[in-house]
Amino acid sequence: MTNRYPSSHVFYRKLTREYPRIVRGDGCYLYDDRGRRYLDGAGGAYVVNVGHGVGEIAEALACQARRVAYVSGSAFTHDAVEELAAEIAQLSPGDLDTVYPLASGSEAVEAALKLARQYWVESNRPAKHTVIALAPSYHGNTLLALSASSREQYQTFYREWLVRVARAPAPYPYHCECGGTPPHCPACSGDAIEAAILREGPDTVAAVIAEPVGGSSTGASVPAPGYWRRVREICNRHDVLLIADEILTGAGRTGTWSALEPYGIVPDIMVLGKGISGGYAPLSAVVAPRRLVDVLARGSGAFLHAQTFSHHATLCAAGVATIRYLRRHRLIERAAEMGRVLHHRLQELRSLPWVGDVRGRGLLAGIEFVENKTTRRPFPPSARFAESFAAVALDHGLVVWANAGQLTDGTGDLAMLAPPFVIDEGQVDEMVTLFGRAVEHTAAQVAAR
Ligand code: PLP
């Protein structure tokens, strides 16, 4: 059966649509109560990396809950948090080796920004408070994270409550005059970030926050090979902390533990979420080096971001079990390998009507729809192309993540793919075939309007 508001007591995310009722998941598939099967091409919301229905992770949660489900992070430590921190520290690049666990990506972004600010205040540089973020970008929906996000439609009702965040253009080659090829424009080279720091005044800038590879915000745009080295150098020169938002790209999604790794640089703070617990529990983490945390330890003695459910035993146990499962089954290597298969197969979508671009890395792909493939002109928002496409894809048994309005003028239509890392070649074929059919049906639907 499908459920919808108001015939149910659930306050759904969308109040005008019907929701299939999912009763079970197994690997890459979900099943509803009518026995319909869906290929989970988006891992829910880029979350389900180890696949659905992994018994040993469910067992690890139950086991921790039986031993002790929760103690306050202000009073105690426990095996689950110690083990989670050690696992993440071992996998994370450079000196990123202390871990502050929270529950959602937005909370981790808020905490990372507050950590940057507290670090500067306790370093006797209180003037450093400005945050620079890219446009487009997405960092979450709580008020500080939403302020950092460049997403007009999410901000509309809450504008009066948001804080000012300075902007630099994101590298988004498909909509850029340089097209991502050298000589790069300021946005695609990273120079735009330096321009923003200079405009604000380096002595006032606390941090630059950015997604190493674009998520929904730029539809999996991958910056040029020299981009992050340049940004790292700029941040070093101006004494600005670099925060890598790896909520979506981390935990192996792009074929390496963090998406920054292939660029060979280390951020000052990294935030993780989504895949670190595979969807088995809500979990996120701020990962920071001791050189930052020591400043707080020597100063006020605490990070002023206490939350009831930080360092949560059962959530941390889910993270430990997921990370160990990823490692034992070499699933990050598999994400890289199946990513190559996926991107090869996706190229055939380029011949379809309205498929303007196909891009990404590992098991993260963005397919951008445009009304005019020659001029790259997007659809008007009234066409609701991405939304219609996602509904048609679901009818075909394929779950995608649709995103609209990422461009600065509020236009833009993307469908994102981010399947579980256990996907095999046959399932990649099935996913791309279903995707192609859904594009053709959506095209027919839109043409008939
Ligand atoms: N940062 C990025 C890059 C994201 O993609 C998201 C969510 O999609 C967030 C932060 C916020 O995470 P959450 O929805 O868990 O609060």
Helix (H, G, I), strand (E, B), or coil: what is residue 40?
A: strand
250 C-alpha to ligand 1 centroid (Å): 11
Question: 288, 118 in Cβ contact below 8 A?
Answer: no
As a CATH number, domain 3-53+330-448 is: 3.90.1150.10
273 pocket-lining for ligand 1 (C-beta < 6 Å): yes
449 pLDDT exceeds 80?
no
188 C-alpha to ligand 1 centroid (Å): 23
Helices (H) and strands (E) in the chain, counts: 14, 17
Average pLDDT over residues 318-323: 98
- Which amino acid makes up residue 357? D
Q: What is the pLDDT of residues 171-199, one digit of tens each?
A: 999 999 899 899 899 999 999 999 999 99
Cis peptide before 93 (omega within 30 of 0): no
360 pLDDT exceeds 80?
yes
**Residue 446 confidence class, pLDDT cut points 50, 70, 90:** confident
214 pocket-lining for ligand 1 (C-beta < 6 Å): no
Fold topology of 56-328: Aspartate Aminotransferase; domain 2 (3.40.640)
Of 3, 73, 17, 19, which is closest to residue 309 (Cα–Cα)? 73
Cis peptide before 419 (omega within 30 of 0): no
Closest C-alpha to ligand 1, atom 1: 139
**Region of residue 27 (left: phi > 0; alpha: psi -120 to 50; beta: else):** left
pLDDT at 1: 73
Please give the torsion angle defined by the CA atoms of residues 317, 319, 323 and 328, in that order, rounded to the nearest 10 degrees: 30
- Which amino acid makes up residue 176? C
**Region of residue 297 (left: phi > 0; alpha: psi -120 to 50; beta: else):** alpha
443 pLDDT exceeds 90?
no
Q: What is the pLDDT of residues 370-384, one digit of tens each?
A: 999 999 999 999 999
pLDDT at 2: 85
The DSSP 8-state label assigned to residue 413 in this structure reads: E
218 pocket-lining for ligand 1 (C-beta < 6 Å): no
Question: 190, 234 in Cβ contact below 8 A?
Answer: yes
5 contacts: CB under 8 Å, gap ≥ 6: 11, 12, 15, 16
246 pocket-lining for ligand 1 (C-beta < 6 Å): no
106 pocket-lining for ligand 1 (C-beta < 6 Å): yes
145 C-alpha to ligand 1 centroid (Å): 9
Question: 120, 129 in Cβ contact below 8 A?
Answer: yes
| CATH 3.90.1150.10 segments of the chain | 3-53+330-448
The rounded Cα 147 to chain-centroid distance in angstroms is 17
Q: What is the pLDDT of residues 283-315, one digit of tens each?
A: 999 999 999 999 999 999 999 999 999 999 999
**Region of residue 46 (left: phi > 0; alpha: psi -120 to 50; beta: else):** left
151 pocket-lining for ligand 1 (C-beta < 6 Å): no
| Index of the ligand 1 atom closest to the CA of residue 274 | 15
pLDDT at 445: 86
What whole-number distance in Å separates Cα of residue 136 and Cα of residue 134?
6
| Spatial strand order in the sheet of 398-399 | 22-26, 29-32, 37-40, 398-399
213 pocket-lining for ligand 1 (C-beta < 6 Å): no
pLDDT at 130: 98
104 pocket-lining for ligand 1 (C-beta < 6 Å): yes
Closest C-alpha to ligand 1, atom 13: 105
| CATH 3.40.640.10 segments of the chain | 56-328
pLDDT at 293: 98
Q: What is the pLDDT of residues 194-241, one digit of tens each?
A: 999 999 999 999 999 999 999 999 999 999 999 999 999 999 999 999
How do beta strands 284-289 and 205-210 pair?
unpaired
pLDDT at 220: 98
Q: What is the pLDDT of residues 97-149, one digit of tens each?
A: 999 999 999 999 999 999 999 999 999 999 999 999 999 999 999 999 999 99
pLDDT at 193: 98
